[in-house]
Amino acid sequence: MSKETLKSPSGPKGKGSMLKMKKLVEATGVAKSTILHYVNEGLLPKPVKTSPNMAYYAHTCIERIRFIKQLQSKHRLGLSQIKIILKQRDKGREVTPLIELKEIVFGKSGSERMDTKAFCRATGLSPEDVDKFIAAGSLMPEKKGRFDTEDVAIGQVLHQYMDMGLRARDTTYYHHFAEKIVAKEMALRKRLVKDQSYDEAVVLTMRLTKNARFLRAYVIDRVFQKHAALIDNFENKPDKQA
């Protein structure tokens, strides 16, 4: 028998070959530290310990790790979202619709994240500006200190705001009212899916998400247009003196 594998009834559910960490790293191409992090986060089953310094992992961890990496690389999902998907898959449920829902909510393949220094170079904001806009809720990186292309795009807009004389605290109302709108949407979803099955709830949530995004943009733009129509047409403004 290989020294790196162990046939043991003490493994998960008492079946399947068990692997040492070295073999698991070789089979998945994932670093030991990452695998241990997955275990600590509850994404992988805890190993079977035969001594304080000897642990064996279920052979099924290989496929599970590959699935986790696929969800990270192709579907832009964080570990908290992946944990939800794995939990449903472990119950024997079809998770493809759930993955599709997560893509709709969080976007598809994610871009490389940049640190604060690179983000500031890309946007023209200073680290102090970044902290102020994050505190105001108008800059919301998914992970602290790591920024993606969407963050960069909004960071450039916020820099233009500052050029116009606006401050971070002038943007707080966006976050304030967004929280209220989303809270209403979540309450509506909860009411609609209350008596539905898992599959029906996932499908309905996808439809609600798509429609809510369209409705939000439509209503806000229409309200803006309504108010813009009442703005002075500038005919009585004096010309700028040379």
Report the distance separating Cα 136 and Cα 138, nearest Å: 6
Tens of pLDDT, residue by residue over 89-98, are: 999 999 999 8
Residue 238 confidence class, pLDDT cut points 50, 70, 90: confident
Q: What integer is the mean pLDDT of 146-172?
A: 95
Residue 7 DSSP one-character state: E
Terminal C-alpha separation, the chain: 90
Please report the pLDDT score of residue 8 as a whole number: 39
Please report the pLDDT score of residue 42 as a whole number: 94
Q: Return the higher-pLDDT residue of 15 and 110.
A: 110
Predicted TM-score (pTM) of the model is 0.69
The residue length of the chain stands at: 242
Please report the pLDDT score of residue 242 as a whole number: 55
Q: Is the pLDDT of residue 121 over 60?
A: yes
Please report the pLDDT score of residue 106 as a whole number: 75
Report the distance separating Cα 107 and Cα 28, nearest Å: 26
Give me the sheet containing 5-7, strands edge to edge.
Answer: 5-7, 17-19, 54-58, 48-51
Q: Is the pLDDT of residue 195 over 70?
A: yes
The residue type found at 25 is: V
Please report the pLDDT score of residue 4 as a whole number: 43
Residue 13 confidence class, pLDDT cut points 50, 70, 90: very low
Mean residue pLDDT of the chain comes to 88
Please report the pLDDT score of residue 74 as a whole number: 81
Report the distance separating Cα 148 and Cα 12, nearest Å: 38
Residue 160 confidence class, pLDDT cut points 50, 70, 90: very high
Contact at 8 Å (CB) between 58 and 88? Answer: no
Cα 155 to chain center, whole Å? 18
Segments of 40-80 assigned E as strands:
48-51, 54-58
Please report the pLDDT score of residue 240 as a whole number: 73
Interior/surface letters 40-59, b for 16+ CB within 10 angstroms, e for the rest: eeebbbebbeeeeeebbbbb
For the chain, list the domains and their CATH numbers. 5-106 (1.10.1660.10), 116-194 (1.10.1660.10)
Residue 241 confidence class, pLDDT cut points 50, 70, 90: low
Cα 119 to chain center, whole Å? 19
